[in-house]
Each structure stands twice: as C-alpha cells, then as structure tokens.
Amino acid sequence: MAGKSDSQLFQNKYDRERKKIDEKLSRLLKNHKPKSLYEPCEYIISNGGKRLRPLLVLFSAEAVGGKFSQAYNAAVGVELLHNFTLVHDDIMDNSDLRRGRITLHKKYNVNTAILAGDNLIGIAYNSLLKDSKTNCVQIVSSFTNAIIEVCEGQSYDTDFELKKSVTVEDYLLMINKKTAVLLERCCEIGGLIGGGSKNDVIALKKYGHNIGMAFQFQDDLLDIMGNQEKFGKPIGADLVEGKKTFLFLRALEKAKGKDKSNLTAVIKNKGVEKDQIDYFRKMYIKLGVLEEAKDEIDRYTKLALKSISSLENKSSVKLFEWLANYLIKRSY
C-alpha cells in the first residue's frame, strides 16, 4: 500500500493532470461554428467531473513505459465519449440535474441535446485519432466497442425497469456494460498507446473492469447511505425511481413475509414515496445487503489490485493502488 507521502504525491499528480485535461477540453471547442451546436457541447464538458477516465488513459500509458504527452488526446477523447453518454442518458432518464447543474436537454431542449451528444462522439474520435498513429485499428476498435457496450448496457437498464424478474446476474451484466466496460477500455487504450505488452494490457484492462464494478456497487450503496451534499443527488433516489439495484435485488432474494411483499410492491408501484425510504434502508440493514455490497466493493477492489500487481513498473502499481482507494474513500 502507498504511504502517506506517496498518497500526497499521487493526489498532486492526479490534480495536476486533471487540471490539464480540463484545460485541453475547454480549448478544444473554442471558435467552432455553429454556436447553437458548440455552446451546448462546451456546457456539458465544463461540468467539473472527476476526469477519472482520461486519468486512467494517462496512468495506463505511463505504467507500460509511455509518456503522458503521447496520450493526452486519447484521454480527452474518452472523456468526450463519456460526456456523450451522460447527455443522452439524461434525456432518456428525463433527469433535471447532473452534478448539481441543470441537464443539457433541460437548459436547451431535447433536439439540441441529441445533436450535441452525437457531435461529441465525432469530436471524441477525432481527438483519439491524434494519438493512434500506431496500433490505430486496435485503439479505435477498443473505443468503438465501448460505445456499443454502453448502448447495450443502457438498453438492458431500460428493459429491467419493465421486467418483473431481474436477477443479480442480469444486474451484473448490465453494470459491466454500462459502467465497467468504459473504464476497462480507458486502461486498454492507454496501455496500447504506451506500447504495452499483451500481458500488461490485459492486466490494465482487468484493473479497469474491477474498479468499474467496485465503483458501481459503491454508487448503489451511496444512494441509500451517502451524504446528499457530497453525493450530489437526493438520498434514496434509486428507491423512489424503483431502480433494480444490487441492494434491491439481493433484498428481494433474501426477504421473507412482509418484507418480501413490500419489496414486490415497489416493483408493482414503480418506486416508493420519499417517506418510505427510511423503512427500506432499515430493511436493507436487517437483511445484511448493505454489508454484502461493501463486501463486493472490497472484493472487486482486491481483484483490481491483484490484476495490476504483475506490472513491472512498481511506481505505477502504487499509483493504481492509491487510485483504487481514492475512488472508494467516500464515507458510507
């Protein structure tokens, strides 16, 4: 594990590179026409996100002996791609807020948001291509498969809203495609740009996949246990929307009697009232599903760390260890 001074160094490195990504993103769309298309694109990419995905590209390139300077455009590309998914997902989910700001389709309109999202895909590929001089087919394929799998994941997610019997296994397939795949591809793309060996690239991919899974489990957990201000959305939103999260699906598997019928009623009623959230939280605690989610987060985090332990660059191994812990440090 990383020591305290290492942690500070890694944090500084993350913050420094995150700032660079922000700068590159904000420069990218300046002076493009028409304004009606590029202003909404600028709005979405100035959302102050963590920039985890571009950082994964950079750190992965470095881990296999590459330089950050070889991978900045690809890093910007994956962030643009991620932002495209946010814009279109927000339309589909009819969300009002994203990171405390009004969503793109509410600020402008649905047509503008569809088109801005589409345009971000193009700009994302253009940026990626600048860093794809070698390995072009592999790099662009990896990126492309992320788009396809994210679409498939979003489709499964929508299916699950209507489907009565969703299993934990279904859920895992969905979150893999919807969340983990893109993180996996970021690591793969960084590894390919950095000129990594086949084994190194596989190790990095596994790291990305496993922290992606841990990240999604944490998201489910924070929905019910988190601090609203920190988390940026109302507590219990998943329950109110009747989302079939890991917590809900495991509770449904484990519950008996009245608990079971109340959970079944959530599916039938497509959600719960806000004043019922506390009741379900207590039920989740009683059934031990919050502990199970924590165990899953730990398990995936350990798998992530194990997968990158084979990398020769031990400084990068430490950085990735720090990053995994940084991502799941949020209190719950």
Residue ranges that bind a second copy, judged by CB under 8 A: 33-34, 36-37, 84, 88, 91-92, 110-112, 114-115, 117-119, 121-123, 125-126, 129, 132-133, 136-137, 140-141, 144-145, 147-148, 151-152, 154-156, 158-159
Shortest Å, Cβ 182 to a second copy: 12
- Pick between residue 34 and residue 257 the one whose CB is nearest to a second copy: 34
128 neighbors 73 (Cβ within 8 angstroms): yes
92 or 285: CB nearest a second copy: 92
Question: Which of 41/211 has CB closer to a second copy?
Answer: 41
Please identify, using beta-carbon distances, which residue of 10 and 43 lies nearer to a second copy: 43
Nearest distance in Å: CB 116, a second copy:
8
Rounded to whole angstroms, the Cα distance separating 35 from 328 reads 39
CB of 79 to a second copy, least distance (A): 17
CB 103 within 8 A of CB 96: yes
> Concatenated DSSP letters for 133-181?
SSSHHHHHHHHHHHHHHHHHHHHHHHHHHH-S---HHHHHHHHIIIIIH
CB of 98 vs a second copy, minimal distance in Å: 17
Cβ-contact 99, 47 below 8 angstroms: yes
Cβ closer to a second copy: 158 or 199?
Answer: 158
Rounded least distance, CB 294 to a second copy, Å: 30
Q: CB-wise, 139 or 290, nearer to a second copy? A: 139
The C-alpha R_g of the chain, in whole angstroms, comes to: 20
Write down the least CB distance from residue 264 to a second copy, Å: 23
Helix, strand, or coil (residue 97): strand
**Where are the alpha helices (H) located in the chain, listed in sequence order?**
4-28, 35-45, 52-63, 72-92, 104-107, 110-130, 136-162, 168-175, 181-193, 198-225, 228-231, 237-240, 246-254, 257-269, 277-287, 289-308, 314-327
Q: How big is the CA angle at 54 (ends 50 and 55), to the nearest 5 degrees?
A: 75
Smallest distance, Å, CB 138 to a second copy? 9
151 or 202: whose CB is closer to a second copy?
A: 151
